[in-house]
């Protein structure tokens, strides 16, 4: 999910990105026609269930699919504890003004996930298994424009890869969990609770600079282990050790090599929840929220702004997500807000801090309760020692980039989402010399 600027060797083939745009357009047209057909199933789902981003560890709510119930086989497997989830998601965007250049790009992803409850399937109580893989392709609009916060949270490298797989054991009546396998750290440490409501990277997935200490990210998961403890029902503590592979796509191009390379990354988080979103109360209004604070640390060698190598790098983050208003009891429709901040040493991390703030309204039109509208602001700051690096004499020093987004999530069918978006960047790349840029486009997601 990370931008390609983080790994220069992953830069995409610019000569093929128009082909991906055309392929995505043709695919979307075909899917739209299919969704309008009377043969396609209909049903109702919650807004978050419909466009639940890429958190492959998320629960699998009951919902309809483009290809239906596979003649009853999907439900039969689910009753035995085996759940599949397949989707196609694509961002098609262009910047008509501003940035380093004016261009357009499309990024597509086809993803499959399997979750197995081994207790229901084989009688191994408390054991579960998870695996997810994907094929992704396209062009990097953010790299072309020179942005710090990528307009699309999907973009990383062209790959067909097994992203993550793990086994998990729950203990002490589901108060303690142990997970071992191949993990994407940013799926669990620094990820966005409301990310599915946005396209811009620091909202759609996770803080955009946490990867600077080589915390693993999807789809480039690395070997790792995690323990999570629920101190009581509303308070949890979790910690993980992850392989800090500095070139994960090259070191493990398929995801099957289980490559442990370079220095490890240690991650931890403590969180408080209230009125959990999946605990529906039909007789009263609920206001779910989650508040979390975490950190990541890598003891390996890092180069500072002066070119001197030293040991150790870390980042800390805090985030609050809270429902502010509900239109009626037992409903998700209403207003939610999110704020967050992360920080790392400015002499080691070029983008050393990021601040986010956003609001979303679920069900803004009474007759369309599954739609949503969202607004976001992302502030990315360059560390002071890096502000003059690469800047010719006489030009303004680097400072901060300010990015804004507004979008509308339109549920065409329960399995088909279209999400038009407008974004605006001030001081692109934290460089006041680069013209402010506008981005127009849309996301589409189809669940099979």
268, 269, 369, 381, 428 from 316: Cα distances, Å: 10, 10, 37, 15, 25
Contact predicate 164/115, CB 8 Å? no
Radius of gyration (C-alpha) of the chain in whole angstroms:
21
- Mean pLDDT, the chain, whole residue set: 87
Are 250 and 228 in contact by the 8 Å Cβ rule? The answer is: no
Contacts of residue 378, Cβ cutoff 8 Å, sequence gap at least 6: 149, 200, 202, 203, 208, 354, 355, 356, 401, 402, 403, 404, 405
Its pTM stands at: 0.85
Predicted confidence at residue 35, as pLDDT, reads 40
Domains in the chain (CATH in brackets) are 4-258+365-447 (2.40.160)
Q: How much is the pLDDT for 22?
A: 46
Model confidence pLDDT, tens digit, residues 114-150: 999 999 999 999 999 999 999 999 999 999 999 999 9
pLDDT score at 277: 58
Residue 404: per-residue pLDDT: 98
- Alpha-carbon distance of 376 to 390, in angstroms, equals 30
Chunk the chain into consecutive blocks of 10 residues (it has 448) and report each block's average pLDDT, rounded to whole numbers: 39 42 45 37 34 39 76 92 96 97 96 96 96 96 97 95 97 95 96 94 92 93 97 94 96 95 97 75 83 97 93 96 91 94 96 97 93 98 94 90 98 95 98 96 96
- Residues 425 and 404: their CA atoms lie apart, in Å, by 6
For 2, the 3-state DSSP assignment is coil
- 261: which residues sit within 8 A by CB, 6+ positions away? 243, 244, 245, 246, 251
**DSSP assigned state of 190:** S
Which pLDDT value is given to residue 330? 79
What distance in Å separates the CA atoms of residue 351 and residue 346, rounded to the nearest whole number? 8
């Amino acid at each position: 999910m990370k931008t390609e600027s983080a790994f220069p060797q992953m830069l995409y083939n610019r000569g093929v990105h128009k082909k991906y745009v055309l392929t995505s357009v043709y695919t979307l047209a075909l899917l739209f026609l299919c969704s309008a057909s009377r043969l396609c199933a209909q049903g109702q789902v919650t807004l978050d269930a419909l466009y639940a981003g890429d958190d492959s560890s998320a629960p699998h709510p009951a919902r309809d699919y483009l290809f239906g119930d596979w003649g009853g086989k999907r439900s039969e497997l689910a009753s035995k504890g085996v759940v599949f989830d397949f989707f196609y998601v694509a961002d098609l965007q262009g910047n008509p003004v501003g940035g380093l250049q004016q261009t357009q790009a499309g990024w597509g992803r086809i993803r499959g996930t399997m979750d197995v409850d081994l207790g229901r399937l084989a009688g191994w109580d408390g054991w579960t298994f998870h695996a997810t893989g994907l094929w992704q392709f396209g062009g990097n609009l953010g790299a072309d424009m020179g942005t710090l916060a990528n307009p699309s949270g999907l973009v990383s490298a062209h790959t067909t890869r097994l992203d993550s797989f793990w086994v998990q054991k729950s203990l002490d009546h589901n108060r303690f969990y142990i997970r071992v396998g191949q993990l994407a750290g940013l799926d669990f440490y620094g990820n966005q609770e409301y990310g599915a409501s946005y396209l811009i990277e620091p909202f759609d997935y996770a803080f955009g600079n946490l990867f600077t200490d080589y915390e693993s990210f999807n789809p480039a998961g690395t070997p790792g282990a995690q323990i999570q403890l629920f101190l009581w029902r509303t308070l949890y503590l979790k910690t993980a050790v992850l392989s800090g592979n500095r070139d994960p796509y090259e070191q493990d191009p398929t995801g099957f090599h289980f490559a442990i390379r370079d220095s490890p990354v240690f991650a931890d988080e403590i969180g408080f929840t209230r009125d959990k979103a999946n605990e529906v109360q039909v007789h009263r209004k609920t206001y779910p929220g989650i508040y979390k604070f975490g950190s990541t640390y890598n003891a390996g060698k890092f180069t500072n702004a002066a070119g001197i190598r030293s040991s150790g790098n870390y980042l800390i983050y805090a985030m609050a997500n809270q429902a502010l208003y509900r239109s009626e009891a037992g409903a998700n429709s209403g207003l939610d807000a999110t704020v967050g901040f992360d920080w790392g040493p400015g002499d080691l991390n070029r983008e050393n801090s990021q601040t986010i703030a956003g609001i979303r309204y679920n069900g803004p039109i009474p007759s369309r309760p599954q739609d949503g509208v969202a607004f976001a602001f992302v502030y990315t700051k360059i560390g002071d020692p890096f502000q003059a690096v690469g800047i010719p004499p006489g030009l303004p020093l680097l400072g901060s980039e300010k990015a804004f987004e507004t979008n509308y999530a339109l549920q065409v069918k329960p399995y088909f989402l279209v999400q038009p978006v407008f974004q605006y960047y001030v001081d692109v790349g934290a460089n006041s010399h680069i013209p402010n840029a506008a981005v127009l486009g849309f996301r589409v997601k189809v669940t099979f």
